Amino acid sequence: MSHSRPNGDPTPPSAPAAERQAGTTGATREVWGTRAGFVLAAVGSAVGLGNMWRFPYLTAEYGGAAFVVLFVITLLFVGIPIMLAEFTVGRRSRLSSIGAMRAAGGNRWTVIGYLFVTAAFLILTYYSVIAGWVTRYALMGIFQGFPAETGELFGAISSGWQAVAFHICFMAAVVGVVMMGIRRGIERGVIIMMPLLFLLVIALAIWAATLPGSLAGYGFYLRPDMGALFSLDTLTAAAGQAFFSLSLGSGAMLTYASYVSKQADLPREATIISFSDFGVAFIAGLAVFPIIFAFGLQAEVGESAVGALFISLPRAFVELGAIGRLIAPLFFLALFIGALTSAFSMLEIVTAAVIDEWKISRKAAALGAGSLITVCGILPAMNTDILGVLDAIAGEFLLVVGALGIALFVGWRLDNPLDEVTSGGRQVAGSLLKGWLWVLRILVPVFLAAILLTKAGDAWDAIRGLLLGS
């Protein structure tokens, strides 16, 4: 599993040794050391702040079980096909976003590669700021516990020099790991961290089941409001969450797949990765809502997503006393791991593109890109309104544009995409593969175009709100 088979591509049979060194061309590119390394890295990218908080929050907001159903449907019919499309382009070209689009599609399609890198760059600037808050909460949870006034605590942590300082620390950790490369950095990191994350989330959910509020919490979380099942709003929210949560539309999966061997079974890995992501999100909700309900904090959940995570939940931990003192660090540690392994993938998108385009060393590329992102991130660290606008533009809008682009590209332009998907030799039913192409050609573009119209309005409103100061 550990190296590439020639299989018709120009890699010479002696390539494995060469592949171990980071290289700048397809022929000498690094490959994941193990199958688990690739899968866990992709799950690590997918599982992040989006799962641990945004998913439970949206579920409660948009009709409980109805949202979960729509989320799984979009995951199956839109998420997995697009992930497979990104995998196909990445492994075919064995190049990162920009080079991959140029190699597989020519200059016209390269714009999608640039879009990917831009989206990843922008998302990391503010994602790292939130991750910095999480870092602060995790450290505080471990070493001193939270003060009773968690609203003031959040105000202090999320503004001024504290927010900037922890954003810089978090970025330093991300840059350090990405500088070390695919195998020695990212793969080693996720193999240690992801199992720990799974254990933590499961343990938290089991513990939460024993709380007095657990049944009411589940009821609120999974309230079967079936009217919401047929609402366009719910569908748009579920789809947007699926893109963000599965790290689609910005080249994360494309870039990671450029380090995958030709034997890997891409459809199977895409399915495993997507359902693992959903599993963590779902279980995180089973942990969060009983805690919220045990302390009657549900009214606050509806008000603001961020406030509930950084204010209400810590308050519940304070009220839980000694147990809360034990649980809080575990919760924020899980959140921290999720954010960190997601950030690896965002920086890798930019770093790999810089390496491939400018043929400079990985260390220089990671350090350069990481520093620039860190500097730009000071703005959202100082001003949460800017953070919100960046999220609306990059986290919600650009991802959908990117996903639309890659679906059209693989559906209509890429030569023989099915050969790449089946290069591992495993037989996938031909009709399923043809179905996949038609999903990319018709279903996904129509669906995404509809969403795009809604999101464009939202992004525009956010920008206007910021400019007019309202």
Interface with ligand TRP (CB under 6 A)? 45-46, 48-51, 120, 123, 244-245, 247, 250, 252, 342, 345-346, 399
What is the smallest separation between the CB atom of 167 and ligand TRP, expressed in angstroms? 16
Task: Report which of 50, 135, 125 is spatially closest to residue 386, judged by C-alpha positions.
Answer: 125
Closest to ligand TRP by CB, 246 vs 410, is 246
Nearer to ligand TRP, 397 or 409 (CB): 397
**Sign of the CA dihedral 359, 363, 366, 368?**
negative
CB under 8 Å to 68, separation ≥6 — which residues?
59, 222, 282
CB of 383 to ligand TRP, least distance (A): 21
- Tell me whether residue 153 or residue 270 sits nearer to ligand TRP (CB atom): 270
- Which of residues 244 and 317 has its CB atom nearest to ligand TRP in the complex? 244
- Give the nearer residue to ligand TRP in terms of CB position, either 148 or 372: 372
For ligand TRP, give the closer residue by CB, 276 or 298: 276
CB of residue 369 to ligand TRP, shortest distance in Å? 15
Q: Which is nearer to ligand TRP, 250 or 298 (CB)?
A: 250
CA angle 157, 298, 57 (to 5 degrees): 70
How far apart are CB 421 and ligand TRP at their closest, in Å? 22
To ligand TRP, the closest distance from the beta carbon of 346 in angstroms equals 5
Rg (CA), the chain: 21
Min separation Cβ 49 and ligand TRP, Å: 4
CB of 87 to ligand TRP, least distance (A): 14
CB neighbours of 189 closer than 8 A, spacing ≥ 6? 44, 177, 340, 341, 344
Angle at 367 between CA 363 and CA 370, to 5 degrees: 140
Around 142, how many Cα atoms within 13 Å sit in the side-chain half-sphere? 10
State the minimum distance, in angstroms, from the CB of residue 233 to ligand TRP: 21
How far apart CA 339 and CA 354 sit, in angstroms, is: 23
Residue closer to ligand TRP, measured from CB, 198 or 244: 244
Contact call for residues 15 and 23 (beta carbons, < 8 A):
no
User: Residue 389 CB, nearest distance to ligand TRP (Å)?
Assistant: 17
- Most distant CA pair in the chain, distance: 64
Which residue's CB is nearer to ligand TRP, number 234 or number 274? 274
